[in-house]
Structure 1
Amino acid sequence: MSERSTTSYRRLFEVRLLHHYWLDNGGQIFDTLPADMQAARLLGYDVRPLLRVAPTPSTLKQLAGLRCLFMPTAQGFVVAAPGEATFPTDTAFSFSVAIADGQCLDYTALTFRAQAIQEAADPGDLSPTRMVYRYKADVPVLSNLTGVKRDFGAGPVLFLSRDYPAPAASDAVESMVLSAGALLQLTGDNPGAATEQLGASATDMPVFLHQGDVPAIAPPAGVVGAPARGVQLGDDVPDDVFALITLTAVRAGDDDFSFVDGTGAPKAPATVYEVRLKNRSTWWTYLDKRTGAQIAAEPQPLPLTFFGNAGTRQKPSRGIVKAQTSGARITRLVSEIYI
């Protein structure tokens, strides 16, 4: 009789990718909904038609060597490890997030920044082996080493985004900034951009993916043509990358963000991280469907959501959002509603 061996697995960590277009209820954000409504939202939520997540090639090889399993889920993904596995404190994994449905960019904040691929090189290097570097602009990098947490009463929620930055002259439309403790979002490009208040206290709000999550690029000396912010492309970072997630076993100074305990074993219960995608807010403009003439307009930008209605009139469909401009500046984002 042949021998048969089995391996028991347990979760090493989980990452949830939660898009507020599908979770909020009109003008009410998901985190303030009653518990039963939150549960219902999550039960019907599936991020896989929107975003595609995969381990980077180096991480895929590393997971195989450790006999770990990567499993996409409706809310994001899980990595499971053999029950007896332990991990060094500097164990690190990385995951590439790509867009599965381009239409989701129409209702996702910050996507007016083009993630263009740019090549960079040293113009003084004319050798046959001249190195050409490839970068992708405005790609965020999310990490448990730099993420922040919020406590909404049921324990800390571990966000992989950094804390929100202070306002800067370079801020563009939909940038999220802190001002006197409040969370504001720009409704146009600087200079002179107006803002809307997302929350009177930023610490009472989830930490959405924001412009501060995009790292600065420092190309090698003499190399020109690289974008100011983004990531370098290569064998481990594919061209279709929308965001990168990097997770390290231990975060010194804040063990909540570690995914192993003091012995190197997976924590019980497993650590759960969250990435929150902000739904877009636009100026709702009502047009006569026969003549195209403007009939009415909301006095302030309103959030786009699948459930509920932030306004008092017909809400926009999941269509293209138009940018009103003044020269090269975006002054506001508009949803046109024909009635």
Structure 2
Amino acid sequence: MIKGNHTALPVFILLGYSKFPILQVLLFVVFLFIYMGIITGNGLIIYITVTDAALDSPMYFFLRNLSFLEICYTSVTLPKMLVNFLAEDKSISFIGCAIQMYFLFVLASTECFLLAAMAYDRYVAICDPLHYKLTMSKELCLKLVTGSLIINMPVHVVQVYLLFTLSFCGSHELNNFFCDLPPVLELACADIFVNEVYMFAATTVILIIPFFLIVASYVKIISAILKMPSVEGRKKVFATCSSHLIMVSFFYGSATIVYLSPRSKETMDANKLLSLFYTILIPMLNPIVYSLRNREMKVSLKKLFNRKL
């Protein structure tokens, strides 16, 4: 079936905002700067958390892996988007679309579990500080990161296989900047009930379960903060969690709307913008939020710049 589809439909056309050709150069410049910012900002976080001994803790281990994940995540879609802004041929091959979608799903799903692991780390640090080093051992942290990746790989093999064994007919224009599940499903001319059920089940496991783990962790954290007698102590503890809460809200809010909201022609354009938000803007905001709202990160950055100067 895949071979037959590939022969009948060798390419998809990524529309993006191609209806506005005057914007293409401007969009190229904007997204190029965004991509450079993502690589530079997240790369800087990786560098200082590796080289600064003061940042040798589970929290920064998870942050380092999150930054590396953001670089890989955006590199799946942004280079092709940049080419499409300037090229007349905005096509992507059938197999290329499947590969792009698979890695996008795996990396995004891994981020969901990694955000849950970061919430658990904050829960242990605040609610059980005496056993923090024992509980959050290097072995456990490594298992949480690798497990987050390994769990998601077979889930999305099935997801992508079910999608690309469908029959596609009629238009092959994707109303998006990259290959994503909802716009590709729109082009299928076969029964997509199984795909929708699997998408809902996978989204529930990958988005909802980690989200509830994050919520449960922060319910415990907030309860512990409210019991603290010192107002300054409350502010200091909350400051260590606020960056993570901001990124969780942005990521989960946009991803949930795109994958769990009912699809219609009216929502497709809105979802196209939201998909840019969680695939591009959040990775750009990640180093800004974590560096500006974290005292230890600011101190480490200051030391780095002083050494370079």
| TM > 0.5 | no
Greater Rg over alpha carbons, structure: 1
Structure with a larger share of its residues in helix: 2
- Provide the TM-score with structure 2 as the length reference: 0.27
- Provide the TM-score with structure 1 as the length reference: 0.25
